[in-house]
Structure 1
Amino acid sequence: MSTYKRTTLEDEEVSEVVIEEGQMDGPEVGLSYRRLIDWNSTLIKKRSGLERVLFAVIFILSLVLLACVIVLIGNYQNDLSRTLCLTETCVQISGSILASVNRAVDPCEDFYKYACGGWVEKNPLPDGQSRWNNFNNLIDHNQAVIRNFLENKTMNVTSEAERKARKFYLACMHEERIEELGSKPLEDVIEKAGGWNITGPWDRNNFQEVLSFTSATYRATPFFSVYVGADARNSNSNVIQIDQSGLILPSRDYYLNASANGKVLEAYLTYMVDVGMLLGGQENSTREQMQQVLQLETAIANITSPQEDHRDEEAMYHRMSIAELQDLAPAVDWLSYLNVMFSPLSLNDCEPVVVYASEYLQAVSSLINNTDQSVLNNYMIWNLVKKVVSNLDHRFEDAGQNLLEAIYGSKKTCVSRWQECIEDTDSTLGFALGSMFIKAAFDQHSKNVAEGMIYEIRAAFESSLKNLHWMDEETRAAAKKKAEAIYNMIGFPDFIRDEEMLDKVFAEYEVLDEFFQNFLNFYNFSTKVMANQLRDPPSRDQWIMTPSTVNAYYSPSKNEIVFPAGILQAPFYEKNYPKSLNFGGIGVVMGHELTHAFDDQGREFDEAGNLRTWWKNSSIEAFKKQAECMVEQYSRYTINEEHLNGKQTLGENIADNGGLKAAYNAYRNWLMKHGEEKKLPAIELTNHQLFFVGFAQVWCSVRTLESAHEGIVVDSHSPARYRVIGTIANSREFSEHFACPYGSPMNPIKKCEVW
């Protein structure tokens, strides 16, 4: 190895620097370094002592300067790491948010376009879909998880209920067998019902029998619906409940507003005729008789209460005996009918029922008595046929494509068969599927975090009660008591984790290799389950949503909020997301469901889930005044020049507004307790602003014109755009953090606030 000497600025002593072999290329390199050193040494020796001191000072200052630069760079990087979240998750979500926003839009002018403009541009409607949003993305993900369980035989399917779910799914996927059977399974059902005048001979004196057969045995709903649920005035017991029903199209408006819905009515009649002919009817006769059925449905629509008038529980609730029901609507032999439905129970005239549409039942009874028996028969059988016909071969699905397109603006033919089959399996054995789903996609951490967030949001909601100027102190205290009593159900009902209990739930449901028959068996099974529930108290384990569902709900009779495992995922919640996004996502959903306990319907139920007047009259009147502000606000909004129905959507609008406020206050409280959190990189938004952007981007959505119209007519929720704009416009915190000018579209002079 070779060595060389180097001069330092501090003295002329030489230090040795060792150069490893292979770092230099031999003697010539070494010689050149020696020459350089010699030259420098000579140069320095020629300088005066003062000059050499100056050289040393300059050299030391240079080192100090270099050190300062290095320290500054390090401090800058440290400052960035202290103020910015630079994890992989934060970088990814930053990219997603930036791709979804439209920075060219002023957020104070149109916050939905600002938050979702980029998303809408990048997400055209997929084939076969009438609308698309972040819910659909998550639904697809959940279905893919379940599909893997159902199709992968190596997956651990341990319970008999799970095996039934797999068998049901595979029967649905066995299209060759379905095609082979054709219409025969449904023709056999019609024959058991006594025939159908459209396809062959029928028994003219069997109205009562056909009514029982179609609705009691196979759960169709001609004329009215019958079900079992908690008695609204005594939530600890179940009772038979009866309500208006009987329409095939999504809403009464489609029948009654022919000028706006002529295309739908024409497509519906064509579909009715096509199905009748596929089942053996002759074209002219089938068309004539189906036209009569359509006229009867239109008459039923005419006596059906509009959705916005069917919201006042106290006004609708009528408890009576079967004997009194018989006097109210004598066209039906109610005791005979209900005994068939609730077999093997034996009911008598004193059995209580709760009627939610007494005027409707009176009117429909009169309609039945004044309608030809053949038309009644055709209508009841058609009601059953429409319920089950989609489970037959492809001809029947093809027959419905034009009707789907007329109502929703898209055909179903582009939807994958496996997705349809998972939806069908979820509708029958959803809790068995849920058992599979939570094994693969849900962890205890998510449940624990969700419980903590609910506690924080409930605390924020309760705290805000004291600021409500319109509520008296006695009612305020009762409202706080109700909020404290709300029960949280998160992820899944406990019984699905117990194989023995899960198997017991579905023990009497027989699943075969025949897809159509599996549905008939399920209808019969669900009727038996309903009969068993009548004498049992309501159960918290009885959820109306399955675990993989991307949704949530509030139950007024149980005073509980339910969040299935399916929604506790991105974009609503992700454990590594900033708290601003989690509170703006699942936090707002939680606040939304909690606020439902105090919307125009939920407020009528007390902390125990009983329907009673627990508010002082002054607060009831003040509530109605506050709510009317929202009715007027949302009724001014339009989609394709069609106004929203602010009365129909009132409950959801109250929940949207209250949910955003509660979630934001909970987030603000979290910051006070834990300190400011790191920002996302490249976004140039404060975390408070990010909360609102995260909330808005949950609702980014596209849909067809027809689907938008259907939503206005049918949905109790406002369209996605106004779930954002309507709520934001009432938020003082939003206007503060985005510095929106007073009187701008997103900061109007008049704001509406209920909770």
Structure 2
Amino acid sequence: MARMNVALQELGHAMPNYKRATLQDEEGPEPAGDGSASPDSVEVGFRKGPGTLLSRLASRSQLELVLCAVAVSLALLLSVAVVTLAIQYRRGMPSLPDPSHSTCLTDACVRVASKILEALDTEMDPCQDFYQYSCGGWIKRNPLPNGRSKWSTFNSIWDQNQAIMKHLLENATFNSSSEAERKTQRYYLSCLKEQRIEELGSQPLMELIEKIGGWNITGSWNQTSFMEVLKSVSGTYRATPFFTVYVGADSKSSNSNIIQVDQSGLFLPSRDYYLNKTANERVLAAYLDYMVELGTLLGGTPEPTRLQMQQVLDFETQLANITVPQAERRDDEKIYHKMSIAELQLLAPAIDWLDYLSYALAPLELADTEPVVVYGDTYLQQVSDLINDTDRSILNNYLIWNLVQKTASSLDQRFETAQERLLETLYGTRKSCTPRWQTCISNTDDTLGFALGSLFVKATFDRDSKAIAEEMISEIRAAFEVSLDQLDWMDEKTRQAAKEKADAIYDMIGFPDFILDNKELDDVYDGYEVSEDSFFQNMLNFYNFSAKVMADQLRKPPNRDQWSMTPQTVNAYYLPTKNGIVFPAGILQAPFYARNHPKALNFGGIGVVMGHELTHAFDDQGREYDKEGNLRPWWQNSSLEAFKNRTACMTEQYGRYTVHSEKVNGRQTLGENIADNGGLKAAYNAYKSWLQKNGEEKRLPALGLTNHQLFFVGFAQVWCSVRTPESSHEGLVTDPHSPDKYRVIGTLSNSRDFVEHFGCPLGSPMNPGKHCEVW
């Protein structure tokens, strides 16, 4: 029933960008790019992989000890804060509320007030720079850890989740639990066996290359045909040279699965790294050095390897030149092309498509009449020409390089060290201090994430949170629909259809039910063999397993209850073909949500996240899908034109923002910016409705903030972060989300409610006078 959850984990970075819309970029191991559009995950996102997951916590008990120590310091800090409140700087803010209003002095209120106060920069006028005002203290207290290119609230929560999972995997006996959970432990332990991995060295991958037909880089290529190597590298081992193939819901017939093909094939995170050679000279040099080092570690001699790897890099540059930028792929209707395999063969004849797809989806029987959805027909036509015009030895080197880059992280320390050198140039990271266990937790999450999620949920998730979250979603949905009635630019027919779509949005919270049923969980991973002694083989087995699971879905309808994020993930997403929103257990914790926090903070945190995902149903891409999840026109022309005019305002607004003199791409980030703005408005209106029903809340001590102001501060502090200049550049060219600073400044400067509650004068940076508003 739920086996496709596994396939979606593996397929994640192969699915096109528009298929999911997430709260934050869902980043994979650095370097994460395969050149294809990674899911807009698709990303909560944060970096999860070698060299990036550093934690100060080794176990859950350590976390508890830290919290005990923090409690004492918080109490001291609070007492100081109360004394100094009268002289706190509140430039540009309205008078403080009537002190006769009651103040919350519970332990939870004291702790969260202290944490908020620590993060603030009270020397900054909130009407000048609300991000600095809200996050200046946090930034000062959070220097970038070694081995990290970015550090944020999301990273911090993920580190805590990892520490919990480590404790569970290393201390549980699994005597009465599922076989899937035992597989999870065996996989994790195989990753921890560094001595065994070092003993094997490069041998496992070298043997695999020989099995496929050899590599011209090492002089072992036995002239195996191009198609045979492509089928092995891509079909069996799930690498994505030239293109990516997967099975998923048909955008125009969301109740059926279909084969889908999209552009892919680049190792660096974006085509920009290949084509803008002047700006990325150091990255390209470091990438070539990395290619050469891995080639020599696998048996190549230095000079011939450098010559041939330069040819591979030149070939990738040609691929980059025909790859369509993500900012130009935002109209789903335009990039959707349904055809038969026979028609695909005529479009891109360099590939024997029936042979390839029959192999990749074995044991299914396919005919050349089988329908396929192609995203980027022009790209596939051009890549076919490129293949025909390229020497077969270069194609062999490129194909095997795709396999090498996908599997090398499972080899010995020499390969990890080579990767770290590339990361330092690409992302600005310094030598990683990541403990091995943390890398192995991430690998286990990527492979057996739902079985690991079973352990995580049973140990940590408060079941009452699910009911509370469902109630909040209902309140935010209601607030969004009230806003629809107030839109003067939308005609009545389109408005009614929009309400029906909002009503039909399907929400999934915490975790999928099957993970708590041992039999169902075991069925999901049935057929996946895991040994405690061979980490590399476990990884290969998973690629084979996920390919079979994917093929098994083609003749079945999509499962509405299937998840494509694991429960422990610190993220959320909207899937247009299901018209569904998902909030994993991993994000249902502070600072996003806590049962004992003021409602102002919960609405400003997880409430905005919920509003964000709900609004994705009506962003520039989500709005193309109807309430059933089908890609079809349902807007009246007058409303569509008005919508485009309003989104143009937002494209222009965010396009003016810069990071290190480099502009934000207002078109690439449009969908996420619409969701940020709509999510904030819906959550704030829902909070006001809650206050009307329940009355005013007690204020937090020491802050001097009304609860309305607290809502906006809570929203802003979710996005406090620091990152290297190199990582900032990577985000600007690849991420569909705006930089964290502008997710705060851009959204709040469009909010009339924010301007009112902070008393920002007209013409100030946070109240420029022009408010871009869509929903």
Task: Work out whether 1:138 is the aligned partner of 2:157.
Answer: yes
Q: Over the residues paired in the alignment, what is the CA RMSD in angstroms?
A: 1.1
Structure 2 runs not aligned, ≥5 long: 1-97
Amino acid at match of 1:552: A
**Gap change, CA 1:156 and 1:110, over 3 Å in 2:** farther
Q: 8 Å contact 1:465–1:480 — kept in the other structure?
A: yes
Identity %: 68
Q: C-alpha distance in 1, partners of 2:750/2:213?
A: 59
How do 1:383-422 residues align onto structure 2 when only pairs under 5 Å count? Answer: 383-411=402-430, 413-422=432-441
1:312 pairs with one of 312, 327, 331 = 331
Instruction: Please state how far the C-alpha of 1:617 moved relative to its aligned partner.
Output: 1.2
1:623 alignment partner, SS class: helix
Matching residue of 1:750: 770
Q: Is the 8 A contact 1:581 1:695 kept in 2?
A: yes
1:285-323: CA deviation from partner (whole Å, max 9, x where unpaired): 000000000000000000000110112110000000000
Equivalent residue number for residue 563 of structure 1:
583
1:632 to 652, 665, 668: 652
Q: 1:411 to 1:389 in 2, by over 3 A?
A: farther
The answer for the alignment partner of 2:700 in structure 1 is: 680
Aligned with 1:520 (options 518, 540, 544): 540
Mapped to 2, the partners of 1:540 and 1:190 lie a distance apart of 39
Equivalents in 1 of 2:250, 2:244: separation in Å? 16
Question: Residues 155 and 522 (structure 1 numbering): CA distance in 2 closer, same or farther, change over 3 Å?
Answer: closer
| Distance in 2 of aligned mates of 1:201 and 1:134 | 48
From 672, 675, 690, give the equivalent of 1:652: 672
Within 5 Å, which residues of 2 pair with 1:492-507? Answer: 492-507=511-526
* Aligned residue number for residue 26 of structure 1: none
- SS of 1:421's equivalent in the other structure is helix
Match of 2:234 in 1: 215
How far residue 204 of structure 1 moved from its aligned partner, in angstroms, is 2.7
Change (3 A) 1:80 1:636: closer
Question: Hey, what's the Cα distance between the residues in 2 that align with 1:659 and 1:407?
Answer: 33
Displacement, 1:412?
5.8
Matched, 1:703 2:723: yes
1:719 is matched with 739
Deviation track 1:385-444 (CA, whole Å, cap 9, x = no partner) reads 000001000000111122101111104631111111000000010000000000111021
Is the Cα contact below 8 Å between 2:148 and 2:432 reproduced in 1?
no
For residue 12 of structure 1, what is the aligned residue in structure 2? none
* Cα distance in structure 2, aligned partners of 1:541 and 1:143: 26
TM-score by length of 1: 0.89
Structure 1 residue matching 2:255: 3-state secondary structure: strand
For residues 708 and 662 of structure 1, what CA distance do their matches in structure 2 show? 29
Q: Distance in 2 between matches of 1:625 and 1:210?
A: 49
SS at match of 1:613: coil
Larger Rg: 1
Structure 1 residue aligned with 2:21:
none
What is the alpha-carbon distance in structure 1 between the residues aligned to residue 567 and residue 380 of structure 2?
36
Match of 2:466 in 1: 447
Runs in 1 of length 4+ with deviation above 3 angstroms?
A: 79-82, 153-157
Work out the CA distance in 1 between the residues paired with 2:556 and 2:673: 35
- Equivalent residue for 1:271? 290
Task: Between 301-310 and 150-159, report the one with greater CA deviation.
Answer: 150-159
Letter in 1 for 2:562: Q
Q: Tell me how far apart the structure 1 counterparts of residues 432 and 770 of structure 2 sit (CA, whole Å).
A: 47
Which residue identity lines up with residue 386 of structure 2 in the other structure? L
Q: Comparing 363-372 with 148-157, which one deviates more in the overlay? A: 148-157
What aligned pairs does 1:270-309 form with structure 2 within 5 A after superposition? 270-309=289-328
1:488 counterpart = 2:491: no
- Aligned 1:140-539 pairs, distance under 5 A: 140-154=159-173, 158-411=177-430, 413-512=432-531, 513-539=533-559
Instruction: Name the residue aligned to 1:572.
Output: 592
Give the conservation status (yes or no) of the 8 Å contact 1:157–1:163.
no
Does the CA contact (< 8 Å) of 2:210 and 2:220 recur in 1? no
Written as runs of structure 1 = structure 2, the 5 A alignment for 1:6-17 is none
- C-alpha distance after superposition, 1:357-401 (max 9, x if no partner): 100000000000000000000000001100000100000011112
| TM-fit CA distance, 1:154 | 4.7
Structure 1 residue ranges without an equivalent (≥5): 1-78
Are residues 1:583 and 2:580 paired? no
Q: Quote the Cα distance in structure 2 between the aligned partners of 1:318 and 1:293.
A: 30
CA distance in 1, matches of 2:448, 2:114: 39
SS at match of 1:180: helix
Give 1:155 deviation, angstroms.
Answer: 6.7
Which residue is 2:55 aligned to? none
Taking structure 1 as reference, are residues 205 and 416 closer, same or farther at Cα in structure 2, changes over 3 Å only? closer
Please name the residue that 2:23 is paired with.
none
> What do the CA deviations read for 1:309-347 (whole angstroms, capped 9, x no partner)?
112110000000000000000000000000000101110
Counterpart Cα distance in 2 of 1:348 and 1:342: 12
Letter of the 1:505 counterpart: V
Distance in 1 of aligned mates of 2:135 and 2:174: 39
Q: Tell me, in whole angstroms, the C-alpha distance in 2 between the residues paired with 1:476 and 1:387.
A: 47
Q: Distance in 1 between matches of 2:605 and 2:544?
A: 40
Q: Secondary structure at the match of 1:679?
A: coil
Distance in 2 between residues matched to 1:253 and 1:450, nearest whole Å: 40
- Aligned residue pair count: 677
Alignment-derived partner of residue 52 in structure 2: none
DSSP 3-state at the match of 1:258 = coil
The structure whose RCO (Cα within 8 Å, separation 6+) is larger is 2
Task: Judge conservation of contact 2:174–2:181 (CA < 8 Å) in 1.
Answer: no
